[in-house]
Structure 1
Amino acid sequence: MLVAPEHRPTLQEELKGLPSRSRWVAIAILALLVLAAAVLLLRGSTEDGTRTVVREPIAFNLRYPDSMQRVEDDTLFHLQREGKDDFIVEPLELPAYEGDVGGVLPIEASREIDRLKERFPDLEPVEEGKVRINRVAGYSLAFRASRKPRLYGRVVLLPEPVPGARTGVKLLLLATPGGGANKARDVGTTGELKTPYRSFRFGTEGP
């Protein structure tokens, strides 16, 4: 095979110029580098954690790290690292509305904050806005749940991706500094909560 002059010397030509012992050492090192790159590529393309599917009353699936444990309670799904973070899925029921669902979500988010204040009396909203989770449009509100102890949270309203949807899920994420959250905006973007939050999908089929 012809090689353009500007691309010379080739690796083969470089190796031929080495003493026999050095050439074999160089080949061994190159082989190890190729193997390491293949392992990293495979690891990067492999989904970490445990995949779970919930079928009723609304179907969804997600993955979660082995460090999180499932809690059996009256929610649709609850993961926890005790004293560090929680990932909770609850049903969402929207009131009747006209037009796009995006118009009713901010109103419902403010109602959700009022409900959360019953649980966290010192709750302070930090930021809110539209969000997409795996192409599904929703609405997110990050908050400080308490100052002592420090606890931060995020609630995401996620209607089913069908026209006129009035049902869906509420994702409630709670994290402490020990769970990787040093401010409200960190919840769901750092630490172990990233995996279930970013992998959440409606239906039973994964990516």
Structure 2
Amino acid sequence: MAALPIKPEYGPTLGRLLSPRWRAASALARAGVIAACAGVIAAIVGAVLTLENATYSHRGRVPFSFRYRSLYRVRPDPGGYVKVQRHRADGTLEDSFAVGPLTLPPYSGSLSGELPLYAAGYIRKLARRDAGFVLRGEGKTRVNTVPGYHVLYTAQIEGRTMWGRDVLLLPERPGVREGVDIVMLTSPTANAQITSPLEVATAGVLLRPLKTFSFG
């Protein structure tokens, strides 16, 4: 198909203006321009995909998966499996959802009786690790149909107060000792529907990953 003619008053096209410079540029310069354009396209595609539903699946001794949206994958903590976060434009942390391994010591009796005992040491560890740690509550919870135990707290994370809700979760089978530690953090200003650590992941961007979390 022939190109449509350009009226003289509109002047030369951008392609015609840049064509002499492109032909005169070295091969190295052309390669640099192409690489830069590819980087911009990749960034745009990444931003679009972030706004869509994404899925994370983990295999191994404790396989699990979850879906998330409007959260970005970041490097997990040492020993952790995965971490997704949301930041403000200035880089301030707003929400975080991380999953790491959990291994209970040998125990007798039921899992529901062991988890509160394990949580006592877990809470002491949080108090030593996180500045300004204040325990706000603990107790039984459920992730979908799987029973677990959660710890609710406030702490100084990256220099600001965050609400924390950590869920200790293991697959439902007799004598199970291996599961996951789900660590969720939300800024008090992240969502008007969330007014305490107990409500973390009951609304906002952390609701989807917790609601869709499943073993297997």
| Matched AA of 1:113 | I
Q: Is the 8 A contact 1:123 1:144 kept in 2?
A: yes
SS in 1 for 2:121: helix
**1:54 corresponds to which residue?**
58
Q: Deviations over 1:76-113 (max 9, x none)?
A: 11111131011010100001111101111011112111
Mapped to 1, the partners of 2:166 and 2:185 lie a distance apart of 9
Give the count of matched residue pairs.
Answer: 155
| Cα shift at 1:57 | 4.2
TM-score by length of 2: 0.67
Q: Does 2:104 align with 1:100? A: no
Tell me which of 178, 182, 185 is aligned to 2:189: 178
| Matched AA of 2:57 | V
SS in 1 for 2:147: strand
Mapped to 1, the partners of 2:144 and 2:198 lie a distance apart of 19
Q: Does 2:83 align with 1:70? A: no
| Cα shift at 1:177 | 2.2
Q: Deviations over 1:142-195 (max 9, x none)?
A: 111149732110111101211100000000101102332432122111211111
- Mapping for residues 10-49 of structure 1, pairs under 5 Å: 49=53
Mapped to 2, the partners of 1:91 and 1:157 lie a distance apart of 10
TM-score by length of 1: 0.70
Mapped to 2, the partners of 1:64 and 1:178 lie a distance apart of 20
Q: Does 2:84 align with 1:79? A: yes
Question: How well do the aligned residues superpose, as a CA RMSD in angstroms?
Answer: 1.8
Q: Does 2:203 align with 1:190? A: yes
Q: Is the 8 A contact 1:76 1:89 kept in 2?
A: yes
Of all paired residues, the percent bearing the same amino acid is 35
**1:28 corresponds to which residue?**
none
**1:133 corresponds to which residue?**
143
Q: Which structure 1 residue ranges, 5 or more long, are not aligned?
A: 1-47
Q: Is the 8 A contact 1:77 1:89 kept in 2?
A: yes
Tell me which of 164, 187, 194 is aligned to 1:153: 164
Mapped to 2, the partners of 1:52 and 1:95 lie a distance apart of 28
| Cα shift at 1:53 | 1.1
